[in-house]
Structure 1
Amino acid sequence: MTSLLERPKSKSRSSNTSLRVTLPQVNLLPPEVRAARGLAVTKRWLLISLGLVAVLCVGGYGLALVEQANATTSLNAAQTETMSLQAEIAKYAEVPQVKQQLADAQAAREVGMSTEIFWQERIAAVTAVLPEGVSIDTYAFTGATPMTTVAPSDNPLAAPSVGQLTFTLRSLTVPNTVALVDALNSVYGFTDAWVQTLDVTGDDLAPTFYGVQATVQVQDTAYANRFTPDALAAQSGDDTATDSTGASEDAAGTTEEGN
């Protein structure tokens, strides 16, 4: 009997005691309880989100206050600088007017001196090329001015010019008119020389001599052009070069004295 009531031990059971069998589970809680728990979790996350939003809002507001303070500081600095610049501008308010007046004066000088001719140099050049025994008694120039144009030349064959120079010459011998014309035309800025009259006369200096009246056309190349923009620029460059040379010489002299 005893042997019949005992259950024989199974080898398979003893060999699988180490295996855990997961059995299906059933949640017996009512749906209301599960819903309440889910709502609590949702509320918790909502509070966390609201807290984060509040922190971000406070941080953004603080950052905005800092930016506003920086902007106010920059604005005040800019306004202060603007007022300072306006004060400086007020000090030099007359500078543009003075510069304009200076420019007007320079323009007026350029126009007023546009017909300037160095007559001493021109007459000296004429005297140097006159034939031997011929001298200048008088000379007169009629030509264009900054406000008027040149009058027509007495020489119908003369080319257009800016004026006419009339000479009264004397010659102790019979003058060579061809040589005289060539001499006058050889002077830079003079063209179309013409002998108008030739007569025999006398005065207290010489009882008898030949009087010659000649004309020559003056071209614009005879103008001095001292006050044109190019001439002023060249003059400024020369002055700068002169100052640099002087400074170099002074420096060299100082070095020699030191040695």
Structure 2
Amino acid sequence: MSTTTATRLATLPRVNLLPPEIEEQRRFRKVQAGLGAGVLAAVAVVGALMLLANAAVNDAQSDLDDATARQARLQAQQAQYAEVPIVYAQVEAAEAQLGLAMGKEVRWSYFLNDLSLKVPGKVWLTSMTVTQEVDGAVAATADPAAVPGTSTYLTAGMGTVTFQGKGYGHNDVAAWLDALAKQKGLIQPYFTNSAKEAIGSETAVSFTSQATITEQALSGRYVQKAGN
């Protein structure tokens, strides 16, 4: 073969002898393969989203179950302590009744112990009589006309206490009256009588004294304080 012949063969045009249908089928397969890959990718994305959604649903269901269980526990506790307000109301009612019944209490043991420290050495008591307000009934106060040296200025209290006793002399009895005036919870001390009498070979002064009881003598231990 000559050089000229070889050159001519190299420049010959390429001719596709395949039928057009085959070429179209190849192109369709490529497009079909691309679409298949896209569908697979979309399916994978949808699957991932479904997994995430299922996980979220499971978490929400778990939270709902926990909340339901907690609500059931709280309802059980509420039923367990349902009587607590009733008990509190009963206690408050009992305290109110106790305060009403004992609101006028005077702890006379403390009162007498305190008073004994104030009694003059030359005076001794033989009796004590208390007339006190009970259940809202005001105790009778002394008649001012029966009290020497008084008119109508006596203050009404919650009761009266009357002492009978003896002293060596009138000065000792007067000292007792001064001591009685200093006793907390008592006001307006006075003598109803004071007279000398013979006790064996000695002479003493017998006396009867009275004082008005005020609310300062109350113990206050059954009274509800404000804010309690």
Q: Which has the higher helix share?
A: 1
Do structure 1's residue 164 and structure 2's residue 160 form an aligned pair? yes
* Cα deviations by residue, 1:17-47 (Å, 9 ceiling, x for unpaired): xxxxxxxxxxxxxxxxxxxxxxxxxxxxxxx
Change in 2 beyond 3 A, CA 1:77/1:171: same
Matched length: 185
Answer yes or no: is 1:214 the counterpart of 2:173: no
Asked if 1:194 corresponds to 2:207, the answer is no
Counterpart for residue 140 of structure 1: 129
DSSP 3-state at the match of 1:124: helix
1:225 to 1:60, Cα distance in 2 relative to 1, 3 A: same
Structure 1 residue corresponding to 2:106, chosen from 117, 122, 141 = 117
Show structure 2 runs of 5+ residues with no match. Answer: 1-37, 145-151
Name the amino acid aligned to 1:186.
Answer: K
- Which shows bigger deviation, 211-220 or 113-122? 113-122
CA contact (8 A) 2:167 2:173 kept: no
Pairing 1:11-160 to 2, within 5 Å after superposition: 67-145=56-134, 147-154=135-142, 155=144, 156-160=152-156
Q: Does 1:224 align with 2:213?
A: no
Equivalent positions of 1:245-256 (< 5 A) are none
Once the two structures are TM-superposed, the CA of residue 62 in structure 1 deviates from its matched residue by 7.3
Aligned partner letter, 1:168 = Q
CA contact (8 A) 2:119 2:179 kept: yes
Contact 2:186/2:212 (CA < 8 Å) preserved in 1?
yes
Q: Which residue of 2 aligns with 1:173?
A: 169
Aligned-CA RMSD value: 3.9
Distance 1:157 1:169 in 2: 26
> 1:26-77, CA deviations, whole angstroms, 9 ceiling, x for partnerless residues?
xxxxxxxxxxxxxxxxxxxxxx9xxxxx999998887666554443332222
Instruction: Give, in angstroms, the shift of residue 192 of structure 1.
Output: 0.8
Q: Distance in 2 between matches of 1:178 and 1:210?
A: 11
d(CA) in 1 for partners of 2:201, 2:220: 41
Instruction: Choose between structure 1 and 2 for higher RCO, CA contacts under 8 A separated by at least 6 residues.
Output: 2
Query: Letter of the aligned partner of 2:213 in structure 1?
Result: V
Maintained 8 Å contact 2:132/2:138: yes
Would the aligned equivalents of 2:122 and 2:172 in 1 still touch at CA under 8 Å? no
Sequence identity (%): 21
Which amino acid in 1 is paired with 2:85?
Answer: P
SS in structure 2 at match of 1:72: helix
C-alpha contact (below 8 Å) 1:195/1:214 kept by paired residues: yes
TM-score, structure 1 normalization: 0.55
**CA, structure 1 residues 144+57, in 2 after alignment: closer, same or farther (shift >3 Å)?**
farther
TM-score (ref. length: structure 2): 0.61
